[in-house]
């Protein structure tokens, strides 16, 4: 096990990039800026190590990062309708950073903050403990919040992301990581042939602005039924309204049935790579990069639609305005805790 540390100069800033390396050669590189996963090298069925996440070639591009590549997201991942909510009789207004709504914690959010990083290492695992203090009123959110995120890489090629948060006032919080996975290796192909399996029989209906309508729909007899595996391309060709509002793909919160240990699984048959997601979260936003800006300079090529699969495990911001959704409310001094493990394997 090894941790390499590099200093990256970006304009007048100096960021640190930590590369976690296990005994089988798997590598994950993470910045103190936004806790961004810039690269993840995993083996294909022949043992060839290739990158399986979208990342910029030029680190300066993470200053903009319109797709939130690889970043920690918060305080609230997803959209808060009309950028407002009421808490204990007081109205809170957040920045409207996407139309009339608030997306992914606003700017600078978790994804553009410098986190304090402490590496750790033992013979079974290597990792980083990241901490961030978000002040009361930052981006309109109530409460002084102390966030801790622990990235851990094991010799089972598992990357665990554990989140902890506590605030001195009641607030809202659901954090995630916004990596775009592409198991073909070095972005050789897009993700349309990736086979996806989700332990989920329900998903959240969206309106034309991608805002939850308050309805939860059943996946039966739709291309949202991933219980027995389905190629992502089914959502691209579908004429189902929910695929059309997402601009010919998926951008939806799936509620897990919790009938299996593995809540989500992705398989890419050419490389043999398989990704299993094990999480304590009630659901996941699966985004198939339908709106990925084209022409961005990535490590291996220019960006294009459908180049990465986001599996943003989290609770649902719809719970702010509707009953019956996995809650994002956090009481004063209550410990927020979330944990998701991404296990990178191969099928022969
Ligand atoms: C688009 O609608 C999608 C979001 O789900 C995604 O997180 C973002 O791009 C990066 O706004």
Chain-wide mean pLDDT for the chain?
A: 98
Report the nearest-CA residue for atom 8 of ligand 1: 67
Q: What is the pLDDT of residue 101?
A: 98
In this predicted model, what pLDDT tens digit does every residue of 261-276 receive, in sequence order?
999 999 999 999 999 9
Does ligand 1 lie within 6 Å of residue 315's CB atom?
no
Q: Is 141 annotated as a binding residue?
A: no
User: How far is residue 84's CA from residue 201's CA, in Å, rounded to a whole number?
Assistant: 30
Is 199:264 a contact under the CB 8 Å cutoff?
yes
Ligand 1 mean position to 102 CA, how many Å?
Answer: 12
Please tell me what DSSP assigns to residue 238: -
In this predicted model, what pLDDT tens digit does every residue of 313-328 receive, in sequence order?
999 999 999 999 999 9
Q: What is the pLDDT of residue 348?
A: 84
Q: Is 32 annotated as a binding residue?
A: no
Nearest atom, ligand 1, residue 66 CA: 10
Is 110:75 a contact under the CB 8 Å cutoff?
yes
In this predicted model, what pLDDT tens digit does every residue of 291-346 receive, in sequence order?
999 999 999 999 999 999 999 999 999 999 999 999 999 999 999 999 999 999 99
Does ligand 1 lie within 6 Å of residue 68's CB atom?
yes
Nearest atom, ligand 1, residue 251 CA: 5
User: How far is residue 11's CA from residue 60's CA, in Å, rounded to a whole number?
Assistant: 7
Q: Name the nearest CA neighbour of 175 among 146, 200, 155, 201.
A: 146
Report the nearest-CA residue for atom 1 of ligand 1: 291
Please tell me what DSSP assigns to residue 239: -
Q: Is the dihedral of CA 236, 305, 174, 227 positive or negative?
A: positive
* Residues 6+ positions from 239 with CB-CB distance below 8 Å: none
**What CATH number corresponds to the domain at position 172?**
2.70.98.10
Q: What is the pLDDT of residue 81?
A: 98
Cα 133 to Cα 28, 145, 149, 150, 314: the distances in Å are 25, 6, 12, 15, 20
In terms of residue numbers, what domain contains 317?
2-346
Q: How far apart are the first and last CA of the chain?
A: 26
User: How far is residue 188's CA from residue 268's CA, in Å, rounded to a whole number?
Assistant: 12
* Residues 6+ positions from 12 with CB-CB distance below 8 Å: none
Does ligand 1 lie within 6 Å of residue 210's CB atom?
yes
In this predicted model, what pLDDT tens digit does every residue of 207-218 receive, in sequence order?
999 999 999 999
* Residues 6+ positions from 144 with CB-CB distance below 8 Å: 133, 134, 135, 136, 167, 168, 169
* Residues 6+ positions from 15 with CB-CB distance below 8 Å: 7, 8, 9, 31, 32, 33, 59, 114
Segment-wise mean pLDDT, segments of 10 residues, the chain, 348 residues: 97 97 97 98 98 98 98 98 97 97 96 98 95 97 98 98 98 98 98 98 98 98 98 98 98 98 98 98 98 96 98 98 98 98 96
Please tell me what DSSP assigns to residue 77: -
Residues that are catalytic: 178, 312
- 3-class secondary structure, 241: helix
- Global pTM reads 0.98
Does ligand 1 lie within 6 Å of residue 250's CB atom?
no
Burial class of residue 207, CB neighbours in 10 A (0-12, 13-18, 19+): exposed
Ligand 1 mean position to 104 CA, how many Å?
Answer: 9
Report the nearest-CA residue for atom 9 of ligand 1: 67
User: How far is residue 64's CA from residue 23's CA, in Å, rounded to a whole number?
Assistant: 34
Structural domains of the chain, count? 1
Ligand 1 mean position to 256 CA, how many Å?
Answer: 20
Ligand 1 pocket: which of 103, 248, 309 to mutate (most atoms <8 Å of CB)? 103
Burial class of residue 245, CB neighbours in 10 A (0-12, 13-18, 19+): middle
Ligand 1 mean position to 54 CA, how many Å?
Answer: 15
């Amino acid at each position: 096990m090894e941790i390499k540390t590099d200093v990256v100069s970006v304009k007048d800033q100096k960021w640190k990039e930590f590369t976690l390396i296990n005994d089988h050669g798997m590598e994950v590189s993470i910045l103190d800026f936004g806790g961004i996963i810039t690269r993840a090298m995993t083996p294909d069925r022949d043992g060839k190590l290739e990158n399986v996440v979208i990342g910029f070639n030029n680190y300066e591009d993470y200053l903009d990062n319109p797709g939130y590549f690889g970043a920690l997201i918060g305080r609230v991942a997803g959209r808060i309708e009309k950028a407002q909510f009421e808490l204990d009789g007081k109205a809170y207004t957040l920045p409207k950073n996407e139309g009339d709504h608030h997306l992914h914690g606003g700017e600078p959010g978790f994804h553009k903050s410098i986190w304090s990083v402490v590496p750790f290492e033992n013979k079974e695992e290597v990792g980083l403990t990241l901490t961030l203090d978000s002040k009361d009123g930052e981006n309109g959110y109530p409460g002084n919040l102390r966030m801790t995120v622990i990235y851990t890489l094991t010799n089972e090629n598992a990357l665990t992301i554990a989140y902890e948060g506590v605030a001195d006032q009641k607030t809202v919080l659901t954090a995630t990581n916004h990596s775009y996975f592409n198991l073909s290796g070095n972005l050789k192909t897009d993700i349309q042939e990736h086979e996806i399996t989700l332990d989920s029989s329900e998903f959240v209906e969206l309106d034309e602005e991608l805002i939850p309508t308050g309805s939860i729909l059943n996946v039966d007899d739709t291309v949202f039924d991933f219980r027995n595996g389905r190629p992502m391309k089914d959502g691209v060709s579908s004429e189902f309204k929910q695929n059309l509002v997402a601009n010919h793909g998926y951008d939806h919160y799936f509620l897990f049935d919790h009938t299996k240990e593995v809540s989500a699984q992705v398989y890419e048959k050419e490389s043999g790579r398989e990704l299993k997601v094990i999480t304590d979260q009630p659901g996941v936003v699966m985004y198939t990069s339908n709106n990925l800006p084209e022409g961005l300079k990535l490590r291996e090529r220019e960006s294009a639609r459908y180049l990465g699969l986001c599996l943003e495990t989290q609770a649902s911001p719809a719970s702010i305005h509707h009953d019956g959704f996995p809650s994002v409310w956090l009481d004063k001094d209550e410990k927020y805790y979330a944990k998701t493990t991404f296990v990178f394997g191969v099928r022969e």
